[in-house]
Amino acid sequence: MLPLYIAKRYLFGKKSKNVINYISAISVLVVAIVTMALFVALSVFNGLEGLIISMYDSFDADLKITPTAGKVFVPDSRFEILKKNKGVISYSEVLEEDVLLKYGDKQFIGRMKGVSDSYKKTTQLDENIKYGDYMLRDSAVDYMLVGQGLAYSLSIGLQLVEPVHVYAPSRNAKKIAAPEKSYKHTYAYPVAVFQTQQDVDNKYFITSLSFARDLLGYKGEVSAVELSVDSEQVASVKAQIKGILGPGFDVKDRYEQHDFIYKVLKSEKWGIFLIVSFILLIASFNVVGSLTMLIIDKRKDISILQSMGAESKLIKQIFLFEGWMISFLGAVIGLVIGIVLCWLQMQFGLLKLAASGNFVVESYPVEIKTLDILWVFLVVMVIGFLAAYIPVMQISKTKGIKL
């Protein structure tokens, strides 16, 4: 293709170095730097999103079933059908409620989560225990697994000497005249401290379902049913469950259980994408300037091509390809450098979060996604085309050039 060949000769051919050549090289460099920054920013947000998801994954089940009305419900025969679903790996019943905790001379309003024995298979909470062992109860004693923030608030130790006292309002409080009998009280021994996500760690403790029912005065009620599902069948199992249970229940996957957090992460990521894309748009004025100066410098070449019968369309295509190749080179160089930097960060953690401190990770998390590479390349090429189109369409107005 003749226009592309001539454009390549202008950009790569042997020629005497002058200011225009240096400006073109600077334009490539600027596009490369902004492209690299855009890709690295997206990769860091991917890493942060993956980190947050992984922290919630250890506490949240793949699917969570809750009633659309009321706090609790009694699982009926339909839930027996769910247990037999081929995609369901583990089925766990859950009962949650806010309660008052007292340990020594300290008190705190925490969130009790009573779970059935299969809960250990439903989530990966046991893999995030910092101290102690995963136990809910034995034949004589009830135990609790305490979030790290909650343990700090109550100064809880794991010596199994002093229990944590748990208080909850009595369901029959209106019928009881004596105020001291308007709440129920029991206790359990802390045997483990877990660390998942700050919002969870600061208020939650895990205990057995029977302990929660005894305290709250329930028999067969639960507040939710949590399921561990084959990762490749989450969407299909979710649809099947909705069909079985009907409109009386909400069925939420991991993302829907914390939809606000994930929406914020997505909006921040694409907000950064738009901001850096705008910076790229501004940086592309270097391409406009260098291409305009190249057009002026090549007035004689344009005259020769015209005398040889070249049409204005062909001449415009030459400089359009020239500007587009500047953006193409910048995009490729920037993406290569960005991918290498992200890979180095993933392998060696070069950029640390801080010199010291208690963090979940020591260095900035990074995740490379193929779709981001395509998006960045596409945006750079579109902006590059616009940056080349502006001066090319003004060729006829350039002094000394007649098209």
Is 403 a member of any domain? no
For 357-395, what is each residue's pLDDT tens digit?
556 678 889 999 999 999 999 999 999 999 988 888 877
Instruction: Provide DSSP, 223-242.
Output: SEEEEEE-TTSHHHHHHHHH
Q: Are residues 237 and 270 in the same domain?
A: no
Is 402 a member of any domain? no
Q: Are residues 336 and 189 in the same domain?
A: no
How many whole angstroms separate alpha carbon 233 and alpha carbon 87?
6
How many whole angstroms separate alpha carbon 70 and alpha carbon 66?
9
The per-residue pLDDT of the chain, averaged, comes to 89
Q: Are residues 345 and 393 in the same domain?
A: yes
Name the domain boundary from 254, 289, 318: 254
How many whole angstroms separate alpha carbon 198 and alpha carbon 45?
19
Name the domain boundary from 191, 225, 254: 254
Q: Are residues 102 and 182 in the same domain?
A: yes
The residues near 7 (Cβ < 8 Å, ≥ 6 apart) are 318, 319, 321, 322, 325
Q: Are residues 295 and 195 in the same domain?
A: no
Any idea what DSSP says for residue 175?
Answer: G
Strand-pairing partners, residue 110, are 99
Any idea what DSSP says for residue 29?
Answer: H
- Can you give the residue range of the structural domain that contains 98? 63-254
Q: Are residues 205 and 151 in the same domain?
A: yes
How many whole angstroms separate alpha carbon 98 and alpha carbon 100?
7
Q: Are residues 95 and 165 in the same domain?
A: yes
How many whole angstroms separate alpha carbon 391 and alpha carbon 394?
5
The predicted pLDDT at position 295 comes to: 84
The residues near 334 (Cβ < 8 Å, ≥ 6 apart) are 31, 32, 33, 34, 35, 36, 38, 39, 380
How many whole angstroms separate alpha carbon 135 and alpha carbon 117?
10
SS (H, E, C) 362-397: CECCCCCCHHHHHHHHHHHHHHHHHHHHHHHCCHHH
Q: Are residues 74 and 139 in the same domain?
A: yes
Is 42 a member of any domain? yes
Q: Are residues 157 and 275 in the same domain?
A: no
Any idea what DSSP says for residue 163?
Answer: P
How many whole angstroms separate alpha carbon 146 and alpha carbon 194?
6
- What counts of helices (H) and strands (E) characterise the chain? 14, 10
Q: Are residues 296 and 316 in the same domain?
A: yes
The residue type found at 44 is V
Whole-model pTM? 0.78
Name the domain boundary from 190, 225, 254: 254
Q: Are residues 241 and 110 in the same domain?
A: yes
For 218-242, what is each residue's pLDDT tens digit?
999 999 999 999 989 999 999 999 9
Query: Each residue's pLDDT tens digit in the chain (403 positions)?
Result: 788 878 887 777 655 556 677 878 888 999 999 999 999 999 999 998 888 878 777 889 999 999 999 999 999 999 999 999 999 999 999 999 999 999 999 999 999 999 999 999 999 899 999 999 999 999 889 999 999 999 999 999 887 789 999 999 987 655 555 556 678 999 999 999 999 888 999 999 999 999 999 999 999 999 999 999 998 999 999 999 999 999 999 999 988 998 888 888 889 888 999 999 999 988 888 888 888 888 888 888 888 888 888 888 888 888 899 888 999 999 999 999 999 999 999 999 898 876 555 566 788 899 999 999 999 999 999 999 999 888 888 776 665 565 5
Instruction: Give the chain's domain count.
Output: 2
79 closest CA partner among 68, 93, 89, 69: 93
How many whole angstroms separate alpha carbon 193 and alpha carbon 157?
9
The predicted pLDDT at position 17 comes to: 54
